[in-house]
Structure 1
Amino acid sequence: MDAEKRITLRLPADLHEWLVAEAKSAHRSLNSEIIYRLETEHAAVADAKSP
Structure 2
Amino acid sequence: MASSWHHSSVADEKRISLRLPTDLHARLVEQARTDRRSLNSEIIHLLEVTLTNAGGNGESPSLPRSAGGRFSPQAGGAPTPI
Q: Larger Cα Rg: Structure 1 or Structure 2?
A: 2
Instruction: Give me the identity figure in percent.
Output: 50
Unmatched 5+ stretches in structure 2: 58-82
- CA shift for structure 1 position 46: 2.2
Asked if residue 34 in structure 1 is aligned to residue 35 in structure 2, the reply is no
Greater relative contact order structure (CA < 8 Å, 6+ sep): 1
Q: Which runs of 4+ in 1 moved over 3 A?
A: none
Aligned-pair RMSD on alpha carbons? 1.3
Deviations 1:7-43 (Å, cap 9, x if unpaired)?
0000000000010000000000000000000000010
Once residues 27 and 44 of structure 2 are traced to their aligned partners in structure 1, the CA distance between those partners, rounded to angstroms, is 15
Equivalent pairs, count: 48
Higher strand share: 2
